[in-house]
């Protein structure tokens, strides 16, 4: 495993925007003074005439994006997840969501893996916030190639999309030309005893946990749920029926995110199965190196494995 390639999904975002800019003239990329960090700076360099910086004014950026989209542009508006979903929630809801305009929100620096900047910049609420906006699509790719594919899928989608990216370079496990279908989860590992449904950087941790558990004789199915909304009900219910227990894993508050979405599907199916959630346990983050924080907040393979054993005991 020494030669594992690591790419931050935000880097893949920036590169995908450059490619789209080469292919489409109607694309406009916006940022609120974070282009170097969100990686929209790559687009700025390649297509300066179609890059718009609003300065530090995220709400204004979202409403301007809505106006651009209303006039026919395909807009990617970028900031940190905290200031996109958090500060600009109401502009996204009213200016973009309600008129269902073609704005893609590129939200980087999601979760505690932001690291040293600490709690004010570690958004673990964004999926929950965005999920309640009618018609909003939420994509949370797990690695570089998937992020690139997600950006391209979002560009083809008619309507608002929230794309969630991370700051931390994470291992690449997808093929370079991986396909991305909005609304479809992917079974990465077959299994019969339990299913781990993961999203974002927790997918790779789920894969590690599944390998470890396999050595202990536990058959773990792993599903990559890169689309949080619309959630893939079929793959969840199939997993529930075939494996009888589910663990969700996400770099987000356990309230409102993937775990909540999966629980909603399970509970309303009439055939619920035991389920446990791995996520940030309804607390704020703190400063520290990203990898230490992921460990501290229980967002690594060993924690997933623990929950897997616990949920199997509930069967």
Which positions are catalytic? 58
> Shortest distance, CB of residue 100 to another protein, whole angstroms?
7
Dist CA 218 CA 311 (whole Å)? 12
In the chain, count H helices and then E strands: 13, 14
Dist CA 227 CA 185 (whole Å)? 7
Nearest residue to 97 (alpha-carbon basis) of 59, 128, 61, 135? 135
> Shortest distance, CB of residue 59 to another protein, whole angstroms?
5
Kindly tell me which of 22 and 192 has the beta carbon lying closer to another protein. Answer: 22
Rg of the chain in Å (alpha carbons): 19
Q: Helices 233-243 & 258-268, crossing angle to 10 degrees?
A: 70
Applying CB under 8 A, the site for another protein has a residue count of 28
Kindly tell me which of 57 and 255 has the beta carbon lying closer to another protein. Answer: 57
Pair of tokens at residue 42:
């790559």
Kindly tell me which of 55 and 272 has the beta carbon lying closer to another protein. Answer: 55
Compute CA 212 distance to the chain's CA centroid, rounded to the nearest angstrom: 25
> Shortest distance, CB of residue 135 to another protein, whole angstroms?
11
Restricting to residues 39-98, name those near another protein by CB under 8 A: 49-50, 52, 54-55, 57, 59-60, 62-73, 90-91, 94-95, 98
> Shortest distance, CB of residue 33 to another protein, whole angstroms?
12
Dist CA 122 CA 144 (whole Å)? 20
Pair of tokens at residue 277:
């959630």
> Shortest distance, CB of residue 315 to another protein, whole angstroms?
47
Kindly tell me which of 95 and 227 has the beta carbon lying closer to another protein. Answer: 95
Dist CA 206 CA 224 (whole Å)? 9
How many CA atoms within 13 Å lie on the side-chain side of 246? Answer: 27
Kindly tell me which of 77 and 82 has the beta carbon lying closer to another protein. Answer: 77
197 with 236: CB under 8 angstroms? yes
Dist CA 197 CA 121 (whole Å)? 26
Kindly tell me which of 70 and 255 has the beta carbon lying closer to another protein. Answer: 70
Binding-site member from 7, 33, 37, 99 for another protein (CB under 8 A) = 99
| DSSP class of 84 | I
Binding-site member from 28, 35, 42, 236 for another protein (CB under 8 A) = 28
> Shortest distance, CB of residue 202 to another protein, whole angstroms?
35
Interface ranges with another protein (CB under 8 A): 28, 49-50, 52, 54-55, 57, 59-60, 62-73, 90-91, 94-95, 98-100
């Amino acid at each position: 495993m020494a030669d594992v390639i690591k790419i931050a999904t935000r880097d893949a975002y920036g590169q995908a925007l450059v490619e789209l800019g080469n292919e489409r003239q109607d694309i406009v990329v916006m940022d609120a003074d974070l282009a170097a960090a969100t990686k929209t700076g790559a687009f700025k360099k390649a297509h300066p005439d179609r890059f718009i910086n609003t300065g530090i004014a995220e709400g204004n950026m979202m409403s301007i994006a809505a106006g651009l989209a209303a006039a026919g542009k395909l807009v990617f508006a970028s900031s940190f997840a905290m200031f996109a979903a958090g500060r600009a929630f109401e502009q996204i809801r009213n200016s973009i969501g309600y008129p269902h305009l073609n704005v893609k929100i590129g939200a980087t620096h999601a979760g505690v893996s932001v690291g040293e900047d600490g709690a004010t910049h570690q958004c673990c609420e964004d999926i929950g916030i965005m999920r309640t906006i009618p018609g909003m699509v939420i994509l949370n790719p797990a690695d570089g190639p998937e992020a690139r594919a997600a950006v391209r899928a979002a560009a083809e989608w008619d309507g608002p999309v929230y794309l969630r990216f991370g700051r931390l370079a994470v291992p690449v496990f997808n093929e370079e030309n991986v396909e991305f279908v909005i609304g479809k989860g992917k079974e990465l590992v077959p299994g019969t005893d339990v299913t781990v449904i993961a999203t974002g950087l927790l997918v790779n941790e789920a894969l590690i946990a599944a390998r470890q558990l396999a050595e202990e004789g536990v058959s773990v199915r792993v599903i990559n749920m890169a689309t949080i909304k619309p959630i893939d009900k079929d793959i969840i219910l199939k997993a529930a029926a075939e494996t009888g227990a589910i663990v969700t894993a996400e770099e987000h508050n356990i309230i409102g995110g993937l775990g909540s979405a999966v629980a909603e599907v399970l509970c309303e199916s009439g055939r619920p199965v035991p389920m446990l959630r791995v996520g940030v346990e309804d607390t704020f983050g703190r400063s520290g190196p990203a990898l230490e924080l992921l460990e501290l907040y229980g967002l690594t393979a060993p924690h997933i494995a623990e929950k897997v054993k616990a949920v199997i005991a509930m069967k």
